[in-house]
C-alpha cells in the first residue's frame, strides 16, 4: 500500500487566480511545499502539454481532472487526450448547471454519465461525480439526488468524489455518508468547515470535520488521492494549502 503522504493532492481551484499569472511556477511552489499531486480544474489558457511537462519536471502526480458535463458529452475525445497527456484515469464532473438541479435533470445526468463511462471503460478511464450541497434538496425514489447519482450498484458506473464539507453543509455526517462508497471513490475531497456560526470554508484540521476518521476509512476503502480544496481563503491561498498539508501530515502520523 502506498504511504498516505503520497496521496495528498492540492485541488488547483484553490489557487485559480495565481494560476492565471504563472501556472508553471505555482506547480513548482506546490511541489516545494510537499504536495504529492494536484487536481486540475482548468488550464486558464495554457497548453496542456506545457502544464504536463512541468508536472513531469516536478514529479507531481495528477489526481484527476474536473471537466464540465457539456465537455464530457460534446468534446470527449479531447478530454481523453488531456487525460492521456496528464497521465490520469480519473475524469470528474464537478458541478451541474441550475437547469439540471431537479429530479428530471438528475435522471438525465446519471444516464449521460453512464453513457460516457461505458464509452471510456476500454481506455481505463473512470468517470466520477463531485457534489455540492444542492443535491440534498431533491429526492428521487426516497433518497437524495446525490445518493441516486452515486448509487453503488452493478448498473451504475458513476463513481463518487465526495466533498466532505458540502456533505456537512447539507446536514449529513461526512463519516457516515461516505461509508457506502468503499472501493467506489478513487478520489475524495477534503475541505474543512469553521466551527462557528458562519460554517464557511477552513483549512483542513482547523474546523469541525473529523478528518482522522475520514483518513482511516479512506485507507481501508480504496481511496487513491486525498484532494484538498478551499473555495475561499481568508488570506493567501498558498498559505492555506500549506496549513492544510501540515495538518494532514500530523494526522497521517497518528494513523501509523
Query: For residue 68, what are the domain limits?
Result: 4-254
Q: Output the domain CATH number for residue 199.
A: 3.20.20.150
Q: Which residues of the chain have pLDDT under 70?
A: none
Question: How many domains does the structure of the chain reveal?
Answer: 1
Beta strand pairing status for 201-202 and 192-193? antiparallel
Query: Cα dihedral angle (123, 69, 181, 241), rounded to 10 degrees?
Result: 100
In whole angstroms, give the CA distance from residue 168 to residue 157. Answer: 25
Query: pLDDT value at position 1?
Result: 76
Provide the percentage of residues in the chain whose pLDDT is more than 70.
Answer: 100
pTM of the model: 0.98
Q: How many CA atoms within 13 Å lie on the side-chain side of 178? A: 33
Angle at 241 between CA 192 and CA 231, to 5 degrees: 55
Tell me the three cell numbers of residue 174: 461526512
Amino acid at each position: 500500500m502506498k504511504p498516505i503522504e503520497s496521496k495528498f493532492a492540492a485541488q488547483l481551484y484553490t489557487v485559480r487566480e495565481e494560476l492565471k499569472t504563472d501556472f508553471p511556477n505555482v506547480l513548482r511552489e506546490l511541489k516545494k511545499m510537499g504536495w504529492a499531486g494536484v487536481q486540475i480544474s482548468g488550464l486558464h489558457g495554457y497548453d496542456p502539454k506545457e502544464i504536463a511537462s512541468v508536472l513531469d519536471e516536478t514529479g507531481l502526480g495528477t489526481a484527476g481532472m474536473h471537466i464540465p458535463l457539456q465537455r464530457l458529452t460534446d468534446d470527449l475525445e479531447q478530454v481523453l487526450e488531456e487525460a492521456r497527456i496528464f497521465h490520469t484515469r480519473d475524469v470528474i464532473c464537478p458541478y451541474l448547471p441550475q437547469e439540471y438541479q431537479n429530479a428530471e435533470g438528475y435522471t438525465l445526468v446519471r444516464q449521460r454519465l453512464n453513457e460516457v463511462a461505458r464509452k471510456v471503460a476500454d481506455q481505463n478511464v473512470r468517470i466520477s461525480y463531485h457534489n455540492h450541497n444542492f443535491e440534498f434538496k431533491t429526492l428521487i425514489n426516497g433518497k437524495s439526488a446525490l445518493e441516486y447519482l452515486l448509487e453503488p450498484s452493478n448498473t451504475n458506473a458513476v463513481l463518487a468524489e465526495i466533498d466532505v464539507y458540502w456533505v456537512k453543509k447539507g446536514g449529513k455526517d461526512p463519516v457516515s455518508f461516505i461509508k457506502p462508497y468503499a472501493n467506489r471513490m478513487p478520489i475524495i475531497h477534503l475541505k474543512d468547515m469553521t466551527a462557528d456560526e458562519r460554517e464557511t470554508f477552513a483549512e483542513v484540521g482547523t474546523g469541525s470535520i473529523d478528518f482522522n476518521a475520514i483518513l482511516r476509512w479512506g485507507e481501508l476503502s480504496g481511496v487513491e488521492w486525498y484532494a484538498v480544496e478551499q473555495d475561499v481563503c481568508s488570506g493567501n491561498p498558498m498559505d492555506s494549502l500549506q496549513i492544510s498539508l501540515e495538518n494532514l501530515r500530523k494526522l497521517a502520523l497518528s494513523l501509523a
